[in-house]
Amino acid sequence: MKRSHAIFIGATGLIFAGAYIGQTGKTRIEDAPAAESPAEARLYTSLEECMRAHQGWGAPLAPGGQPAPLSPGQEQCQRDFAQANATHVQAAPKFSNQSECEAQYGAQQCRPATFNGSSVFVPAMLGFMVANALNGQRNAQALLPPMRTGTACPPGQTPETMPGCTAPPRSGSSSSSSGGGWRSYSTSSGHTVSRDTSRSASSAVTVPAGATGAPAARSSVGAIAARPSSFSRSGTSSTSTTSRSGFGSTGRSISSSSS
């Protein structure tokens, strides 16, 4: 078996290592930086969706006529949503006016908020993401509208094979949570995460590992740069710029704390 190594510098200035394995039908595997390697998380469009996905998981039967008690999964949904909701405004990018915010996140995708006594605009909360529990840290955080400067998935790729790229809905399908298509979001750190809405809400999705970290408070006002998608299972990478996929324009904002 032949093996050769190549090192090159990508558009972002990061160094990637590629290996060509096998004699015929070679497949290139790009090893992304640790911060952008794939991870698993769960994406929910609302607290209610999370509660439905965990209905009855381990919950005992209730006496006749009494409401069924919450399952352990539903109780965790409430804790995760509360954490994401509480950190939404603190962690989200902040803008001094609505037009600056909408230039990055799309029309009607921003809302006013108060932060440290000042009036700002932040991208709306369209759901919440929970990373798979690692060392007991779930790092629940708000899902924001997709950034207009994100990286589009190249032909033949999806957010499942290239975590961090933005894919439009499947042809002829709805972009709502009940439709069969991809729905993309951004995180407070500028990562893109996506969910295949034809699958159960409780199904894990593949996202960039950097997106699953605990959201940090952002005290500055201004735009953030979208994170380039760098991980590819098929060896294809892209630096193209995506147009609005339409997810954010129809998303319903979840109410969030403004303190």
What average pLDDT does this structure show over 142-171?
Answer: 86
pLDDT digits (tens, 9 = 90+) for 41-90: 999 999 999 999 988 655 555 666 676 788 888 999 999 999 999 999 99
Q: Is residue 24 part of a domain?
A: no
Residue 89 lies in a domain: yes
Sorting pLDDT into bands at 50, 70 and 90, what band is 119? very high
Report if residue 241 sits inside a domain. yes
Give the confidence band of 227 by pLDDT, cuts at 50, 70, 90. confident
pLDDT computed for residue 37 by the predictor: 76
Contacts of 103 (CB under 8 A, 6+ apart): 148, 223
For residue 181, what pLDDT band results from cuts at 50, 70 and 90? confident
Q: What is the pLDDT of residue 93?
A: 95
Number of domains in the chain: 1
The answer to the question of residue 259 being in a domain is no
Two structure tokens written together for 217: 């408070």
Classify residue 199 as exposed, middle or buried by CB count within 10 Å of its CB (0-12, 13-18, 19+). Answer: exposed
Which strand (E) or helix (H) includes residue 249? helix 247-250
Rounded to the nearest integer, the mean pLDDT of the chain is 73
What is the reported pLDDT for 253? 39
Tell me if 95 is assigned to some domain: yes
Across 184-200, average pLDDT? 92
Residue type, 184: S
- Strand, helix or coil at 104? helix
**Helix ranges restricted to H, 3-115:** 47-53, 72-91, 98-105
- Please work out, in degrees rounded to the nearest 5, the angle formed at the alpha carbon of residue 185 by the alpha carbons of 179 and 189: 165
Task: Identify whether the C-beta of residue 196 lies closer than 8 Å to the C-beta of residue 160.
Answer: yes
CA neighbor of 185 nearest in space, from 201, 215, 165: 165
In whole angstroms, what is the distance from residue 171 CA to residue 82 CA? 35
Structural domain contains residue 243: yes
Q: Cα separation of 204 and 26, whole Å? A: 30
Contact status, residue 68 vs residue 59, Cβ threshold 8 Å: yes
Q: Residue 231 is part of which domain span?
A: 32-55+71-250
- Of 31-35, 49-53, 84-88, 178-182, the poorest mean pLDDT is in 31-35
pTM for the model stands at 0.69
Instruction: Quickly state the pLDDT bin for 201 (edges 50, 70, 90).
Output: confident
Other CB atoms within a 10 A radius of the CB of residue 124 amount to 25
Q: Cβ–Cβ contacts within 10 Å for residue 94, how many? A: 24
C-alpha distance from residue 4 to each of 51, 103, 149 (Å): 50, 45, 35
- Assigned domain for 22 exists: no
Task: Identify whether 6 is part of a domain.
Answer: no
